[in-house]
Amino acid sequence: MKIFWYTLTPRFRAFAVFIGAFFLTQVGFGATGLALDTLLFGVYIAAFVVYFLARWGFFARRVPINLPNQTEVIYEKLRQNPGKRRTAPGEPVEFIDPEEADDELLDDDRVIGVFYNGEAAAYPLAALGVREVSNEEYGDTPISVTWSPVTYSARGFIAKANNEILNFGRHTHTVFNSPALPEKSGSDFIQFTGQGITGPLTGSQVKQIPVTTTTWIAWKEAHPDTEVMSTEGGPELDIFERYYANDRNGIHSLNPIDKRLHGKDVVIGLDMKGSVKAYSYRALIDKPLIEEYFGREPILVLHERASSAAVVFSRLVNGQTLNFKGKNKNPHRRSAEVTASGEGERIEYEAWLIEDEQTGSIWRAISGECVEGEHKGKYLEMLPGMTSFWFAWSRFYPESELFGADFDGLSTEN
């Protein structure tokens, strides 16, 4: 019965509730007869009930979704964005070289970095925060780079489904506060997971590629030949910084269903071959190098403190499982460095390097590039770790395994 109710149109459900509420008021006044004032009062009460439930989102359109690693289909609200739609900069997107980007960006400004098919590009949060999506080609592969400030989720997708190239646009609706990205075919895809939820591509799944959320200086030093999305025509600073710092869990407030972390705690999560785990950024600050097995895959989770960036790599190189330790200092950031506001004293950035115990080769933590030793020039395989606020992750991945679980304090247990 519940599923049948959700499959009805929002208008029909609202009308059914109105009739039901009106009928109950008339039953309540039935002992005194059906006078005109009684009928009008019943209409007023029924309209008020419908209005209240509508504000709560009770009549929002429901769409069937398969949560990752869950067998049961759920019907979740496809909610419209409140308020006026923000105006984005015009097309086409302009990309500039690092020297030009230095005139637009501060060293500590945060960017989403993509390194794919031998090509590197950086997308400042200030630029992508208002554009939401950038449809590109890396070599011959169509790639869509997306950013959701509300859920703090950076995602890169191979933009193909059913042998068709996809082209995503800016969203007007959300699921669990994650943008439902419209596609030219008439379908919508959840930005958080890449799952098609409406239209002809319902049920399709686009493949994720690894992306890195880091600082401009860290990305530039790791990829000196990178291209950079220009902030020209848009805001110079990330307009969502105040939202990142407050306690509001989403535009449509959505408290985490899992209380092991606070709603706005940032995690990097992994979903591979049926295994799911999230790693709390706060816990990774105290334990920035983790070696473990994810299923049968030996993985390496790193947190470079100077750039506040977390990444996940495979530890397999040429069929050999490597073990790592820090090579140089991984200094803590100062409190004045946590935003891109341009204020406060900053220490000079120094890339964190790690060393494998098997060959003594030196690797750059932020990119997985070997810069010295037997494996020089090779890269560790970066895995598609997913950044997110905990309130969103705990909705899409309920009962996920978690490193750094806490509520009042910080735990660094594995």
> Which pLDDT band holds residue 32 (cuts at 50, 70, 90)?
low
111 and 30, same structural domain? no
Can you give the residue range of the structural domain that contains 31?
2-59
Q: What is residue 413's predicted lDDT score, i.e. its pLDDT?
A: 37
99 and 199, same structural domain? yes
Summarize the confidence of residues 213-227 as an average pLDDT.
96
265 and 167, same structural domain? no
What is the C-alpha to C-alpha distance for residues 221 and 275, in angstroms, rounded to an integer? 33
Task: Report the domain count for the chain.
Answer: 3
363 and 309, same structural domain? yes
Q: What is residue 54's predicted lDDT score, i.e. its pLDDT?
A: 78
- Please name which of 288, 250, 291 lies closest in space to residue 388, comparing C-alpha atoms: 250
Calculate what percentage of the chain has a pLDDT beyond 90.
60
222 and 115, same structural domain? yes
Residue 198 falls inside a structural domain:
yes
Residue 385 near residue 278, CB atoms below 8 Å: no
More confident residue, 257 or 198: 198
Q: What is residue 389's predicted lDDT score, i.e. its pLDDT?
A: 96
In CATH, what number is assigned to the domain containing residue 198?
Answer: 2.102.10
pTM for the full model? 0.83
What is the C-alpha to C-alpha distance for residues 372 and 327, in angstroms, rounded to an integer? 12
* 405, pLDDT greater than 60: yes
- Reported as a single tens digit per residue, the pLDDT across 301-343 is 999 999 999 999 999 999 999 999 999 998 876 544 444 434 4
Angle at 128 between CA 117 and CA 174, to 5 degrees: 105
